[in-house]
Amino acid sequence: MRVDIDQNRELILTNERAIARQVAGKVIDKPQLALWMILIPVFFVFYFFHLKRYRNGLQDFSENFLITRQRTLDAVWEATTSNANADLESVVELSDIPAGVKDQYRVWVERLADNYLLLIQASGGTYDELVRAAYKKKSNYLLGLKNLNRVEANFNQALAPHLPGDQESIESVIKSMQTSIKDLRRSQAEEIFS
């Protein structure tokens, strides 16, 4: 089967978008509708206001979650189409990451790029087929995911003190994100190699 780099890029991006939505759904709390809210119109309107904020929060989270991933994937795709090395330094420079965290960010971007390069050069018509073609065995894929999760966690931990807001809340969100990503990727690996 011929490798279709454009199709592979879209398959990878579609998968990353799905993961972003799933992580957002696990990290952001959805407002709960109580029966009594339906009976009191003011509270019912208040509920829908919070529901709209929740939906906007999901969208914003997903978009921000994808920024580095999409930039890295685009750099890998451009390099692959032009038979060059990916310009990962431009991905790093485009970010507004504090200087003290750039090294951890760079390592994460490089690991993402390694993963994307394997997938973009693989043969397959679905994301699952790309993963199977690129990694061959579940153990190889799980090892790759473990390394990716580790460098992403290192970056997030290094970034946390630089983020404005309550550090306890920030660390809680980061932990929730990392757990969600790890669980989703592991579940996905189980499905792909079942």
Least confident window among 34-38, 85-89, 107-111, 178-182: 34-38
pLDDT surpassing 80 at residue 53: no
Determine whether 97 is exposed, middle or buried from the number of CB atoms within 10 Å of its CB (0-12, 13-18, 19+): buried
| Host domain of residue 167 | 5-192
Domain count, the chain: 1
pLDDT surpassing 90 at residue 190: yes
1-15 tens-digit pLDDT: 678 999 999 999 999
Burial 152-183 (b: 16+ CB within 10 A, else e): bbbbbebbbeeeeeeeeebeebbeebbebbbe
Per-residue confidence (pLDDT) for residue 48, from 0 to 100 = 65
159-172 tens-digit pLDDT: 988 888 888 888 88
pTM to 2 decimal places = 0.85
64-100 tens-digit pLDDT: 888 999 999 999 999 999 999 999 999 999 998 999 9
116-160 tens-digit pLDDT: 999 999 999 999 999 999 999 999 999 999 999 999 999 999 998
- Alpha carbon 143 to its chain centroid, in Å, reads 18
The secondary structure of the chain in percent helix, strand, coil, rounded to multiples of 5, reads 80, 0, 20
**Long-range CB contacts for residues 130-139, cutoff 8 Å, separation at least 24:** 130/8, 130/11, 130/12, 131/189, 131/192, 132/192, 132/193, 137/193, 138/189, 138/190, 138/192, 138/193
